[in-house]
Amino acid sequence: MQPVLKFTSPIVHILLWLLGYSVAFFFIPKPFFSNPAVWVTIIIAFYLNVYWLIPKYLNEEKHWLRYLTLALTVIVAVTTIEFILDYSLQFVPVYIEGKTQKTLLESILLLWGMIFLKTLIVLPLSFLFQFAKDLMLWKKVSVFAEISLHILIIGMLYLFSMMAPPHWAPELDPFLFIFKAGYKLFILAINLSFFYLNAFWLIPQLLVKRRYTRYFIALLLLFAISITLEFGIYHLPVFSPDQISVLMHTIRVDAIFKLLILLISFLYRFSKDWFEHEEQKTRLESDKLSAELDLLKFQIHPHFLFNTLNNIYSLAMQEDSPKTVRSLGKLGGIMHYMLEECQQTYVSLSQELEYLQQYIDLQQLRADQNNITVNMDIDGKAGILKIAPMLLIAFVENAFKHGISMREPSFINLKIAISANEFYFNIANAVHQRKQVLNGTGLGLKNVQRRLMMLYPQRHTLIIEEKNQGFKVSLTIRLDEV
């Protein structure tokens, strides 16, 4: 079998960098991109980013502030070293023929421009590399491609805005050029606020929750504030009357641009939600198939146990042991429910509650009944409302598993109520050996949360509270009728 070059192979990296430099050298007539020192510093910053900063600060826990601070520090450091070497050895673009002497301010502006361009190159390249690595090595679609796209688009928009009037050359009007860089960045932030505020706050918090009036008021306020700020900036005394006239005409163009950004934010948010929903749906269906397969594998053993249980039940009746008969009857009811009823997508609420009651009765054989209170305030609607089977048992199991102790004070309080089609489930229990409780209940609760999200989207509320004295779960579901 012939060896295949891997994505992380040094040979592949060297070939890609040589290809990139060749394209820049022959097709981009700018000294910045043909200077070998520029590429060396870009490569250094790139590898520090992908093999140190991203794995340490962004893979498991997202420490964005630390990451950005260190990433920018690395880029500033390597660019400054290159700037000093280029200036001392008279390399382009720092050294310009016919003008070897530069003021301090011009040098700072040039250094700032080099840092900005390198940031615009290094960060997107690093995130795209991480995205490709996750996809090819781990078959995992990460968010790094989306992040790199955001950085690249924002950087390009800022570059285009710097090319727009007024045209103040950095070597002739350095202070005005710095002012232009600042206010153009501020205007860009205003325009981008229409994208990010709408996509990540207004749509999820207002539009999805059908608060249409608040949503449109928020958009109108955003438009009014942005236009007022732009109007105020364009009337600063640094602008000439002709420049003010030109800039005032750009407000109309900016308003159309804001509407375009708003439309793009809608498309972005809805497509993002759709892909996330499809991914979650696929994952849940896969989990469901896996669970059904596991149940199918072990069906032989429960059926054998169920038949054996019936035999023991008959013997207990013959020996006249009422308590044993009742206990075996409840256990048989539990097994019948798990083997037969749970094959359905939904069961009646009364069946699910009967199953819970039988489980609680069996658990009370080993626990002090004075510490266990069960209050089921239900009516005739329990027979016509339907619910997913075994949706509540995880909470009850955890309460008995971690809330009952023979040596320490214990309690379990369960309250169930129905109002119209609203189902209310509240359970609280004591906490013993807290660390083990949190480790033991995590997977079960996550599975229940995922089932609720799939089966009852926008129709349930789940609140889990963990305190030193106890563990409390409050669940509300809007159920359908059979």
Mean pLDDT computed over 262-290? 77
Q: Per-residue pLDDT averaged across 402-413, rounded?
A: 75
Is the model's pTM score more than 0.85? Answer: no
In a domain, 383, yes or no: yes
Q: How confident is the model at residue 350 (pLDDT cuts 50, 70, 90)?
A: confident
CATH of the domain at 349: 3.30.565.10
Q: Is it the case that residue 11 has pLDDT exceeding 90? A: no
Total structural domains within the chain: 2
Q: Would 404 be classed as within a structural domain?
A: yes
Q: Which of 144-153, 229-238, 416-425 has the lowest mean pLDDT?
A: 144-153
Q: Report if residue 462 sits inside a domain.
A: yes
- For residues 318 and 248, the model is more confident at 248
Residue 192 lies in a domain: no
CA distance 439 to 431: 13
* Residue 59 DSSP symbol: S
State the residue for tokens 């009742």.
Answer: 326
- pLDDT recorded at residue 3: 42
DSSP string, 244-263: HHHHHHHHHHHHHHHHHHHH
Q: What confidence score (pLDDT) does residue 33 get? A: 75
* Confidence (pLDDT) at 220: 92
In degrees and rounded to multiples of 5, residue 167 shows phi and psi of: -95, 100
Determine what percent of the chain is predicted with pLDDT higher than 90: 8
Query: Does the residue 120 lie in any domain?
Result: yes
Domain that residue 35 falls in: 1-163
End-to-end alpha carbon distance in the chain: 61
Last residue of a domain, one of 114, 134, 163: 163
Q: Which of 163, 184, 203 is the last residue of a domain?
A: 163
Rounded to an integer, the average pLDDT of 427-439 is 63
Is position 456 within any domain? Answer: yes
Among the three residues 137, 163, 189, which one is the final residue of a domain in this structure?
Answer: 163
Q: Which residue has the higher pLDDT, 8 or 284?
A: 284
pLDDT digits (tens, 9 = 90+) for 70-107: 999 999 999 898 888 877 776 665 655 444 455 677 77
The strand pairing partners of 428, in sequence order, are: 413, 472
Q: Is residue 178 part of a domain?
A: no
Query: Would you say residue 447 lies in a domain?
Result: yes
